[in-house]
Structure 1
Amino acid sequence: MSKPTTRTWVNGQACSTISLLERAFQYGDGFFTTMLVCQGKIYNWSGHWFRIEQSALRLGFPKLDQAQTLEQLAGVLSEQDLPQPQVLKLIVSRGQGGVGYQPPSDPSINLVVQLSPHPVYATSEEMAKQPEPLQLKRCDSVCGINPQLAGLKHLNRLENVLARAELADTGFAEGLMLNANQQVICATQSNLFLIQGKEVITPDLSQSGVAGTTRHTLPQIIKNLGLTWCERIVRLEDLAQADEVFLSNALRGIMPVAKFEEQVFAVERTFEIQQAWYEWQQNNAKQVV
C-alpha cells in the first residue's frame, strides 16, 4: 500500500484522525493558513504569523505563542527529508466543548498540521521561473458580505468551493469573484491586483474576501519598485482600464493574467513584481530546521 501524500499531526503528534466533536468539524470554528516550505524554511512567515494573530484576536481565541507554534512546525519538518517544495497547512480549532454554537469559556485549542507535496513546483529551481500567464473567467458564485469575518481565512470556505467547481473542465486556471454589491473581490484562491500607470490597485476587503499573506507583505516590495499601493473598491469596468492584472497566493506567489473575457493585458511590470517577490522570499525565509 502506498503512503498517503498528505501527512497530519495534531498538537505535534503524528495522527490520521480527529474527533467528530471537534468544533472545527461541527461548526467551522477555527481558521487556517497555508505555507510554502522548502529545505526547512517557511516562506513569508511574518505574513502568516500576522494572519494567525489577527484571526485569533478577531475570533476570540486565546493568543497563540509564536515560539511554541514554530516549535511544532519545526518538529514536523525535522522528521522529513524533503528538498523539494512542500505545502504546510496549519489549522487552528477551538477544540471541543461548549453548548451548541456557544463556545467554551476556556477553550483547549488544537493545532492541526498537514504536510503535502507542492501542487505545481517539483523542484526549488522551478519557483524562480516566470509563470505562464493565466486567463480568467467570471464566476457566478459570489463572495458573501460580512464585515465581521471579512479578511479572515476561517474554516468555512464554501464560497470558494462553489466558485472553484465552476472552473472544472473549462480550461481556465482561475475565476474572478464578485460580491452581491457587484464589487470585484478576488479570484477563487488568489488575491487580485490591477496595474494602472504607476499604481497597483487591490480590492478593499473590509466587507468580503480573504486578505492573503502575500498581499499583506507586498506593499513594501511595490514601493521599492517605484510603484504606489492602493486599496479601494474595484468594479468590472476598472479591469477594462487596467494596463496589467495579476493574482497572488502563498503557494504560487505572483501570477500574471493575460486575458479576462475579451480584455488582453500586458505582463511586463507583473514579471518585475514576480521576480522581486521571489527574491524577497528567498532572502527572508524563516529557517526552522
Structure 2
Amino acid sequence: MLINGKSETRIEANDRGLQFGDGLFETIAVKDGAPCLWRRHMERLLGGCSRLGIKPPDIHQLRQEVDREIGKAGRGVIKIIITRGPGQRGYRPQAESQPSRIISFSDEPSFPEQVHQRGIVARLCSTRLGWNPALAGLKHLNRLEQVLARDEWNDPSIHEGLMMDAAGRVIEGTSSNLFVVQDEKLYTPDLSRCGVAGVMQGRVIEIAEELDIPVIITDISLQDLWVADGLFLTNSLIGIWPIRELSGQEFSLDALPRNLIDAVQERGYSLS
C-alpha cells in the first residue's frame, strides 16, 4: 500500500476521509499488468474532485504510483482513495488542506465459473438509498447504505442485491449498475438523485450504441423488473453479469443481447 507515495499502512487520525468520509475512490481492474479503463476512471475521479472542491491529484504522479503498486503482477485490482486530507475539528474544510492519496493492490477476485453464460442469483435489499442530487453519480467514500444492504444476506449462492431509493425506484446493485432488457431495448436507471455512475456502465452504453442497441436512461420501478425480458448488472471488475433469478423469480437469458455481452468481455476492458 502507498500513502502519499510512501509504503505505509497508517493514515493520520485527523484525515477527513476517516473523520467524515470526505473523499472519493476508484476500483480498477488490472489485466496484462496495466489498469483498465484508466482514462475513464480518471475522468470520474477528477470530476468528483471538482464537484467536492478537493484539490485534484496529479494524474501523471498517480499513474506512476499505481504502476509501482502493481509491480510485476499481471492481474488484480487497484484501489485509489483521494481524501481532502488532514483537517481541524469541525465540518468546514480548510482552504489549505492537502489531499491524501491511498493506493492499494489486491488479488483478482474469484467469480463463479461460467457466470457470464449461466447468470447469477440476486435479491432485493430492504435498505434504501437516500436522495442527494449534490452527491448523485459520485463514487464518494460514504458507503454506509451499501454496507447495510450487503449485510442483509449471507447466502453464498446470492451474488448481488438490488437497492431502491426512498420512493421505491430501483437504482443499482450494492456494487453494480443495472440494465433492464425489454423489447430489444436497454433501460438503465436515472442516477440524478442517488447512485453511482459506473465506469463500466458508461462503456456498456457506448458499445450498445455501436451495435445499434437503443439505450434509455429513465426511472425504473419494481414492476418494470418483474415484466422485463431480461436483466443484467455491470461494474469495472465483473464486466456483465446476467441475472437468472431475482428474489425467487426466474429470468430467461435468451433475451439478453449476446453480441453486447461478448463485445464487452472482448473489448470492454481497454486501457482507455
Deviation at 1:262, TM superposition (A): 4.4
Matches within 5 A, 1:78-97: 80-83=71-74, 85-97=75-87
Gaps of 5+ in 2: none
Deviation at 1:109, TM superposition (A): 1.1
CA contact (8 A) 1:176 1:186 kept: yes
CA contact (8 A) 1:145 1:208 kept: yes
User: Amino acid of the residue matched to residue 235 of structure 1?
Assistant: S
User: Amino acid of the residue matched to residue 108 of structure 2?
Assistant: H
Is the aligned partner of 1:120 residue 2:110?
A: yes
- Identify which range, 224-233 or 265-274, moves more after superposition: 265-274
Deviation at 1:46, TM superposition (A): 2.5
- Residue 272 of structure 1 corresponds to 259
Is the aligned partner of 1:211 residue 2:197?
A: yes
- Residue 109 of structure 1 corresponds to 99
Match of 2:218 among 209, 232, 244: 232
Q: Normalization by structure 2: what TM-score? A: 0.93
Matches within 5 A, 1:173-252: 173-252=159-238
CA contact (8 A) 1:244 1:270 kept: no
Deviation at 1:47, TM superposition (A): 2.1
Q: Percent identity?
A: 34
* Partner secondary structure for residue 66 of structure 2: helix
Match of 1:47 among 33, 36, 40: 40
* Partner secondary structure for residue 129 of structure 2: coil
- Identify which range, 245-254 or 96-105, moves more after superposition: 96-105
Residue-pair matches, total:
271
Deviation at 1:129, TM superposition (A): 7.7
CA contact (8 A) 2:172 2:178 kept: yes
Please list the CA deviations of residues 139-197 of structure 1 after superposition, one character each: whole Å capped at 9, or x if unmatched: 11011111111111111100000000112137311111101111000111111100112
CA contact (8 A) 2:55 2:84 kept: no
Please list the CA deviations of residues 204-252 of structure 1 after superposition, one character each: whole Å capped at 9, or x if unmatched: 0000111111112222100122201111000001112211100011111
Matches within 5 A, 1:136-147: 136-147=122-133
CA contact (8 A) 1:37 1:88 kept: yes
2: CA distance between counterparts of 1:62 and 1:131? 43
CA contact (8 A) 2:182 2:230 kept: yes
Gaps of 5+ in 1: 1-7
CA contact (8 A) 1:137 1:260 kept: yes
Cα RMSD for the two superposed structures: 2.0
